[in-house]
Structure 1
Amino acid sequence: MQTQQTDQLPLTDCRFCSLVSKTNKEDPIGTAGTCDHWLIMELSQPWPQNLFQEHPTIKPLIGLFQKLIVKHGVKLRPMLIAPDREYSHPGFTRVLYYYRPTKLFSQFEKQEFVVPEGEATALVTAILKQLIQHPNDLSKFQQYRQPTSHIRELMVCTHAQVDLACGRFGTPLYRRLRKEYAPASNGKLRVWQTTHFGGHQFAPTLVDLPQGCLWGHLEPEVLDLLVNRNGSVSGLRQFYRGWAGLTKFEQIVECEIWMLLGWTWLDYLKTGEVLAKELNEEHHVDEEAHVDEDHPIYWAEVRIDFAAPDGSTSGAYEARVEVCGEVMSAFNSAKQMELEVVKQYCVSRLVKVD
């Protein structure tokens, strides 16, 4: 983590928020967002800024999305992907649904369908209604199920209409991954362009599914390490936004454990818990107290429980996360930027417990 920078990018030097963030050394860890469900559908570009509110295929689903997220508190992330000349089928729509299988897990479970275009909205509706315990029979869609659980999906935000940085930096990264890495995978890796999934200040930003790890500020020279996992995990530390199976402070601790244990840690089943946190020196709160996610936390006590996939070992880590500085960052690209203070966190204590 970083302390306050003295060589930060002046306001007038750049219109891309991600360049401000990167130059000022904003740490992306803890910004992945928490997700229990991913609902991803193919939809042809262009993608206007108000795509979700205006597109005739998506618009009928907005009320259900809002009901799930706002009323029922479902941690759902809807995304769109651009059809691909090689992967996609004219007249059909691909729907990918990922979900948290259990409390303790290492990657999301996947269902994939390729349905006739006219049935895509009905399929998505049926999947979503299951999340609020409405009985829905997916048997009519079983003929469209795809046996793709072995395929890793890399999804790069190129949604320039939401923020220019995603188009400027996401598009070339997507093209390189699609051209060089997907063909070399023997059908085990696909690469997609996606709509915005949060964090344009970290462009180019990427979701790695089914693992559920998010990455930001990516550079071409680290793609071999990210895709092939053929070197030290420390080379990816500065690009890691976190694992979506955990919350913000849990993600920060999980990253430190990963740095200790290496690649095998990603396959461990895990879950997290914030034991306590403090808004300031006078205001201590336990985890049951409601705290606005945007309200600055000064420290948090975190526990990460883990188990090996084969059950050979299990345990937990407990840690303290503290503010260790702040940087100036921009959350949107613009000719006249508004810079904001962003607190930076570090793990000040990490111990393995029985």
Structure 2
Amino acid sequence: MRTQQTDQLPLTDCRFCSLVSKANGEDPIGTADTCDYWLIMEVSQPWSQDIFGENPTIKPLISLFQELIVKHEIKLRPMLIAPDREYSHPGFTRVLYYYRPAKMFSQFEKQEFVVPEGEATALLTAILKQLIQQHNDLSKFQQYQQQTSHIRELMVCTHAQVDLACGRFGTPLYRQLRKEYAPASNGKLRVWQTTHFGGHQFAPTLVDLPQGCLWGHLEPEVLDLLVNRNGSVSDLRQFYRGWAGLTKFEQIVEREIWIQLGWTWLDYLKTGEVLAKELNEEHHVDEEHPVYWAEVRIDFTAVDSNVSGAYEARVEVCGEVKSALNSAKQMELQAVEQYCVSRLTKLD
């Protein structure tokens, strides 16, 4: 049954898309881009809107990025991070490369390099070409590799040139995390400012690597729970955009399982599949052919294989909200379908 949210914020004079989204109750779940690879490089600010096309290190690689993403349909997310006074080294460029280690997994594997600035393009080229050729040979850069697999990276979008909301709301959140949480981690947590990685209507938005969980509409009072995982996961429900290892409707189901099982769920190896879906041809909103319902299966196993199983679920449209996809003086509101899990069954 379709429900319509009422009493939504008109916000005719509001400049920030994320305020519209949050006030109108838009659920961020299912909005994390599905990724198999993350390629992240240090580039000094300021970042223009087209920083990838203008940066001399990256510009020669644009056609290679397009070949990978468009032609080969490789799920790759390129990002830039701002150098940090404590973490970074003048004359050198940091490159973080995360990759999906297997079909079933819980977090991304990481390789980190700190190379002389003049070798950054060559390293990026080698990483991108190996994705096409399906082999891993970065031995030429081994001397620059860093042993940082134990470090958790929190990446907050502050890319105001793409959308004002990310600068307005992402920057103070980044500063709080960087000042309060990174120093208290005994070297196990770094916090970075990043370029846009999708979903600025959910600013402040954050990606937690190597886990690959994305968060949005974040508030200062939930940071302790997000970083330290020292309380009920249900208190983070409204901020969870999803896990990048799954697709949209799989992410929606995964959140429900996570709420039931708690923090240990994040450590399970997981994979998802959409078993069936029905397109809602008559009601076109945020997608060309919105899905009216989807049947989803999530398989899981513990790392030691002592626990394993599967869930099947049905995801259905349960409403619609008005949201703004971009910040502007004159807001253009757009209808966005909202989904909920109407059935969740653990299989024997």
The TM-score with structure 2 as length reference comes to 0.97
Give 3-state SS (helix, strand or coil) of 2:146's partner. coil
1:316 corresponds in structure 2 to 310
- Alignment deviations for residues 190-209 of structure 1 (CA, whole Å, 9 cap, x no partner): 00000000000000000000
Give 3-state SS (helix, strand or coil) of 1:12's partner. coil
1:19 corresponds in structure 2 to 19
| Preserved CA contact (<8 Å) 2:182 2:190 | yes
Shift of 1:13: 3.3
| Preserved CA contact (<8 Å) 2:13 2:329 | no
**Deviation >6 Å, runs of 4+:** none
Q: CA RMSD in A?
A: 1.6
Give 3-state SS (helix, strand or coil) of 1:33's partner. coil
| Preserved CA contact (<8 Å) 1:3 1:344 | no
- Alignment deviations for residues 135-170 of structure 1 (CA, whole Å, 9 cap, x no partner): 674212000000000000000000000000000000
Structure 2 counterparts to residues 221-232 of structure 1, below 5 A: 221-232=221-232
* % same residue: 88
Shift of 1:30: 0.1
Report the more deviating stretch, 312-321 or 127-136: 127-136
Give 3-state SS (helix, strand or coil) of 1:34's partner. coil
> Is 2:283 the partner of 1:296?
no
Give 3-state SS (helix, strand or coil) of 1:259's partner. helix
The TM-score with structure 1 as length reference comes to 0.95
Give 3-state SS (helix, strand or coil) of 1:318's partner. strand
Structure 2 Cα separation of the partners of residues 121 and 282 of structure 1: 48
Structure 1 Cα separation of the partners of residues 189 and 159 of structure 2: 22
Structure 2 counterparts to residues 273-288 of structure 1, below 5 A: 273-280=273-280
Shift of 1:239: 0.1
Shift of 1:55: 1.5
Shift of 1:280: 2.9
The runs of 5 or more residues in structure 2 that have no matched partner are none
Structure 2 Cα separation of the partners of residues 313 and 198 of structure 1: 34
Count of equivalent residues: 345
Shift of 1:4: 2.5
| Preserved CA contact (<8 Å) 2:280 2:289 | no
Structure 2 counterparts to residues 181-330 of structure 1, below 5 A: 181-280=181-280, 294-330=288-324
Structure 2 Cα separation of the partners of residues 239 and 308 of structure 1: 26
Give 3-state SS (helix, strand or coil) of 2:291's partner. coil
Note closer, same or farther for the CA distance 1:294–1:222 as it changes in structure 2 (3 Å cut): farther
| Preserved CA contact (<8 Å) 1:129 1:136 | no
Structure 2 counterparts to residues 82-93 of structure 1, below 5 A: 82-93=82-93
Shift of 1:309: 1.2
Structure 2 Cα separation of the partners of residues 68 and 234 of structure 1: 38
